[in-house]
Structure 1
Amino acid sequence: MAFTHDTEMALLAAVTLANTAEEPDTLVTIADLDSFFEEHEYTGRRDGTQAEFEAVRAVRHELRDLLTADRDGAVELVNRFLAEARAVPQLVRHGDYDWHIHATGPDEALVTRMKVETAMAMIDLIRADDLSRLGICADEDCRAIVLDLSRNRSKRFCSTTCGNRNAVAAYRARQAGA
């Protein structure tokens, strides 16, 4: 199933943010959050404060719980995120993007918008019974989340680093056995 652009963007941002909490932690400064905000094209309010930074760091574990939950657990978390934010879905258009759904206003706190956008994207996966698009990296030393949006659902590693490390290990194992 093809997902809408805003669903894919929200899932990619959530996976990336959750994975920043893995070792080594890659969200350690407000400048890191600034880069994340720009890279994932967030719109709306941005305080740039230490409090906002700490709130975003804290939400990473909640996002990981949602992204790795089974279907029923994901439904529970999605409903909680939406209820806490008193989310009201609306169609909006901004920048280069045509009509898409936002469920919070642009003045809500960044962390609230992140949680709600992730919840809204997860609704699409849950309704399509397509949570298999999310998994844990196949590298035995990695716990990062993998988002597989490929047609053939073949993505196993969170990054080219993990994929290359495993390809080299497999090659060396074949060479040693030959």
Structure 2
Amino acid sequence: MVFAHDTEMSLQAAVTLVNSEDVDEDTLATVEDLDAFFEEFEYTGRRDGDQAELDAVRRLRPRLRTLLSAERDDAVVIVNEMLAAERAVPRLVRHDAYDWHLHAVENEAPLATRIIVETAMAMIDVIRADEMSRLALCADDDCNGVVLDLSRNRSRRFCSTSCGNRNAVAAYRARQSAGA
């Protein structure tokens, strides 16, 4: 584990949210999609479960993309602005199966607010550890997805298995045609 569990979950959630806005298929198009996202990333607290909440979460994607693809010093400015705007007050909490970890906004805050604050808090760990290289853009020339590389050897280059497979097939075909 590179970071604490809550940091990794928040980063993975942010990357998934940003990458849900794909030109071919938006994977966060319905309230049911948001329900699945909420469950997958083990969010706690308030859930409105309506179109307004979905719209608010979808509107976060450009802000999160900017943060996740920023240079370190620029990310600091963005994180500070996000935390100040939401009046984040870090505190230790323990719930469900997780030991003490940080929350910085009340459970009754809107989901979009909690996502922004939790992502900003996770980025504090990334910035302080000088691990911005763990975030990158997908190496597929036709993709603008964000990659979160939590591997030990920092070898992840593609945002999804689809992008990785597509590039592996293209490389194989290029080798085959070069040898022919």
For structure 2, which runs of at least 5 residues remain unmatched after alignment? none
Matches within 5 A, 1:8-23: 8-23=8-23
Runs of 4+ in 1 over 3 A off after TM superposition: none
3-state secondary structure, aligned to 1:158: coil
Displacement, 1:148? Answer: 0.2
Cα shift at 1:59? 0.7
Cα deviations by residue, 1:117-157 (Å, 9 ceiling, x for unpaired): 00000001111111000001101111000000001000000
Identify the residue that residue 80 of structure 1 maps to in structure 2.
81
TM-score normalized with structure 2 length:
0.97
Structure 1 partner of 2:105: 104
Q: Residue type matched to 1:115 in 2?
A: I
Distance in 1 (alpha carbons) for counterparts of 2:40 and 2:89: 26
Name the SS for the 1:91 alignment partner: strand
Match runs of 1:18-167 below 5 Å: 18-23=18-23, 24-167=25-168
CA distance in 2, matches of 1:44, 1:54: 18
Superposition deviation, residue 50 in structure 1: 1.5
Aligned length: 178
- TM-score normalised to structure 1 length: 0.98
Counterpart code for 1:47: D
**Post-superposition offset of 1:26:** 1.2
Q: CA deviation at 1:22?
A: 2.1
1:16-62 CA-partner distances (Å, limit 9, x unpaired)? 00111122211111111111101111000001121111100101110
Task: Letter of the 1:44 partner, please give it.
Answer: G
Matching residue of 1:4: 4
